[in-house]
Amino acid sequence: MIRKIFITGGAGFIGGALIDRLLKEKNNYIFNLDKLGKESNFFRIKNFSQNNNYKLFHFDLLEKEKVFDAIASTQPDLIIHLAAESHVDRSLVEPRSFIESNIIGTLNLLEAAKVYWEKLPNNKKKEFKFHHVSTDEVYGSLGKTGKFDENTKYSPRSPYSASKASSDHLVSSWFHSFSLPILITNCSNNYGPFQYHEKFIPNSIQKALNGDQIPLYGDGNNVRDWIYIEDHIDALLLVADKGNIGNQYCIGSNNERKNIDVLLQICRLMDIYSPKNYPHEKLIKYVTDRPGHDKRYAIDSNKVKSELGWKPKHSFDDGLEITVQWYIKNQSLWEK
* Largest CA-CA distance found in the chain, in angstroms, rounded: 67
Q: Is 123 helix (H, G, I), strand (E, B) or coil?
A: helix
Angle between the N-to-C axes of helices 316-329 and 200-210, in degrees from 0 to 180, rounded to the nearest 10 = 50
* 137 classed as catalytic: yes
**Catalytic residue, candidates 160, 191, 228, 297:** 160
Q: Residues 161-173: pLDDT tens digits?
A: 999 999 999 999 9
Query: What's phi and psi for 153, nearest 5 deg?
Result: -70, 135
Q: Residues 273-319: pLDDT tens digits?
A: 999 999 999 999 999 988 877 889 999 999 999 999 999 999 999 99
**Catalytic residue, candidates 39, 60, 77, 137:** 137
Query: What's phi and psi for 300, nearest 5 deg?
Result: -95, 110
* 160 classed as catalytic: yes
Q: Please state, in angstroms and as integers, the Cα–Cα distance from residue 117 to each residue in 68, 135, 237, following that order.
A: 12, 26, 21
Output the CATH code of domain 3-192+226-254+293-314.
3.40.50.720
Q: Structural domain boundaries of the chain?
A: 3-192+226-254+293-314
In one-letter notation, the amino acid at residue 52 is: N
Contacts of 125 (CB under 8 A, 6+ apart): 117
Which sign, positive or negative, has the C-alpha torsion 90, 95, 96, 100? Answer: positive
Confidence of residue 335 (pLDDT cuts 50, 70, 90): confident
Q: Is 103 helix (H, G, I), strand (E, B) or coil?
A: helix
How confident is the model over 184-213, as a mean pLDDT? 95
Give residue 330's Cα distance to chain centre: 22
Contacts of 127 (CB under 8 A, 6+ apart): 77
pLDDT at 336: 66
How confident is the model over 13-38, as a mean pLDDT? 95
Query: Using CA atoms in the order 215, 218, 221, 225, what is the torsion angle rounded to 10 degrees?
Result: -60
Query: CA angle, 159 as apex, 153 and 160 as ends, to 5°?
Result: 80
Higher pLDDT, 197 or 262: 262
pLDDT at 57: 98
Q: Residues 120-158: pLDDT tens digits?
A: 999 999 999 999 999 999 999 998 899 999 999 999 999
**Catalytic residue, candidates 34, 136, 234, 294:** 136
* 256 classed as catalytic: no
